[in-house]
Amino acid sequence: MPADRRVRLLGSRNVLGTLGRLVAFVLALGLAGAVFGLLGRAALALAPGALGPPDGAGALVVSAGTGLLAALVAGWLMLRLVDGRRPGALGFAWTRATPRELVVGLGIGAAAQGVAVLVILGAGRLVWGPDAGTAGGYVLELLRDLALFGVAAAAEEALFRGYPLQVLTAGFGPVVATLVSSGAFALAHRNNPNVDAVALVNIFLAGVLLSVAYLRTRSLWFATAVHMGWNWAMATVFALPVSGLSLVDTPLYDARLGGPRWLTGGAFGPEAGIAGAVGFAAALAAVLLLPGLREPPELRALRPLVDSRLEDAR
C-alpha cells in the first residue's frame, strides 16, 4: 500500500486516526515487550544472581534495556508500516549534530541539577560526609553510572518522547502533545518510593522540558542526554536519591539532606521539592535559549511525524 494512502487511512488530521495509531503502537509495544521480557527472564534464569539484587543497578539495566528495545521496535514498526517513514525518523538517527547534542544535553542536565543543589545548599540543608572508597573506584563509578543512566533515560525517551509524542504532535499540535505525554510520564512514576503530589508535578515539568528538547531538535539523542545528565549528576555526582530510588553508592562521600521536604524533596530526592522545580526551569530556559539547537538536515530529510504537521499546514 502506498505511503500516502497509509497516512490517509490512519491520518493525523482526525481524532480517530490519531487515536488508532496510538492504540496500534500500544499493541505493538506490548507484543515487543512480551518477547524481550521473556528473553530477559531466560537470561536471568541462566545466570541467577549475576546482576545483583532485584532492586539494584543490574536489574535496572535489564528492565530499561528491555523497555528500550520494545519502544524502539514498536515505534519503528509504526513508522514503517503505517506512516511510510524510515526508522531514523523516530529521532535516534545519527547525524553530524549528534555528538554536539550529546555533550550539550549532558551539560544542560548536569548543570540544572547543580542549580537545584545550590538552592538546597543556600538554605543550609545539605552536607556531605566522608565515605569509603578510592579515587580509582570513584572514576569507575562515574563512568559506570553514566552508562546505567544513559540506558534508563533512552528507554523513557523512546517511550514518552518517541512515537506517542510525535503522533500526538502531528494530530493535535505540540502543546496538547506535550501536556498529554508529560502527564503520562508523571503517572508512570506514581508508584515510586516516597512519591507525593509535589514530586508528580515536578516530574510533569520534567516531561515538558524533555518534550521541548525533542521538539526543538527532533533528536531523541538530545532529549536522552538532558535526561541522563540530570539523573547522573543527582545520583552519582551529588549522591542524592533519584525519583525515590537509591540505585548507586558514590565512593568517597555521602550526602545528608535535612530541612523541609517541600524544599529539598526528602527521601524522594530534589525532584520532590522546590529545588527540583528551579532546576527544571533552568534547564528549560537553556533548551529554549541556547543558540544552535535545531533540526539537522539529515533528520529533516527523514520527515519526522512532527514535521508533517507543518507540511499539512502549507
- The 10s digit of each residue's pLDDT in 87-143 is 999 999 999 999 999 999 999 999 999 999 999 999 999 999 999 999 999 999 999
Domain count, the chain: 1
Determine, yes or no, domain membership for 148. Answer: yes
Determine, yes or no, domain membership for 259. Answer: yes
Enter the C-alpha cell of residue 89. Answer: 525518523
Determine, yes or no, domain membership for 97. Answer: yes
Distance, CA of 190 to CA of 188 (rounded, Å): 6
* pLDDT score, position 45: 66
- The conformation of residue 9, written as its DSSP 8-state character, comes to H
Determine, yes or no, domain membership for 58. Answer: no
The SS3 assignment for 257 reads strand
In this prediction, residue 10 has a pLDDT band, given cuts at 50, 70 and 90, of very low
Determine, yes or no, domain membership for 131. Answer: yes
Whole-number Cα distances in Å, 71 to 43, 85, 116, 191, 291: 20, 16, 31, 21, 31
Determine, yes or no, domain membership for 2. Answer: no
- The conformation of residue 237, written as its DSSP 8-state character, comes to I
Contact status, residue 236 vs residue 254, Cβ threshold 8 Å: no
Determine, yes or no, domain membership for 78. Answer: no
Contact status, residue 220 vs residue 72, Cβ threshold 8 Å: no
- The 10s digit of each residue's pLDDT in 249-302 is 899 999 999 889 999 999 999 999 999 999 999 999 999 999 999 999 999 999
Nearest to 142 by CA among 256, 238, 277: 238
Which range (12-21, 77-86, 125-134) has the least confidence?
Answer: 12-21
Contact status, residue 186 vs residue 203, Cβ threshold 8 Å: yes
**CA 1 to chain CA mean position, Å:** 34
- The 10s digit of each residue's pLDDT in 157-176 is 999 999 999 999 999 999 99
Neighbours of 131 (CB within 10 A): 13
Contact status, residue 228 vs residue 97, Cβ threshold 8 Å: no
Contact status, residue 131 vs residue 236, Cβ threshold 8 Å: no
Enter the C-alpha cell of residue 14. Answer: 482526525
Average pLDDT of the residues in 10-16: 55
Enter the C-alpha cell of residue 143. Answer: 563512568
* pLDDT score, position 39: 78
* pLDDT score, position 248: 87
Alpha helices, DSSP H only, in the chain? 3-9, 15-46, 57-81, 98-122, 135-160, 163-172, 174-187, 197-217, 220-232, 261-264, 274-289, 297-301, 305-313
Contact status, residue 167 vs residue 18, Cβ threshold 8 Å: yes
Residue 13 has pLDDT above 60, yes or no: no
* pLDDT score, position 53: 55
Which domain does 282 fall in, by range? 92-313
Dihedral sign from CA coordinates of 116, 99, 181, 56: negative
Determine, yes or no, domain membership for 30. Answer: no
Q: Output the average pLDDT for the chain.
A: 89
* pLDDT score, position 3: 45
DSSP-assigned states of every residue in 90-132 = GTT---TTHHHHHHHHHHHHHHHHHHHHHHHHHTT-EEEEE-S
- The 10s digit of each residue's pLDDT in 169-221 is 999 999 999 999 999 999 999 999 999 999 999 999 999 999 999 999 999 99
Residue 312 has pLDDT above 90, yes or no: no
Residue 46 has pLDDT above 90, yes or no: no
* pLDDT score, position 246: 82
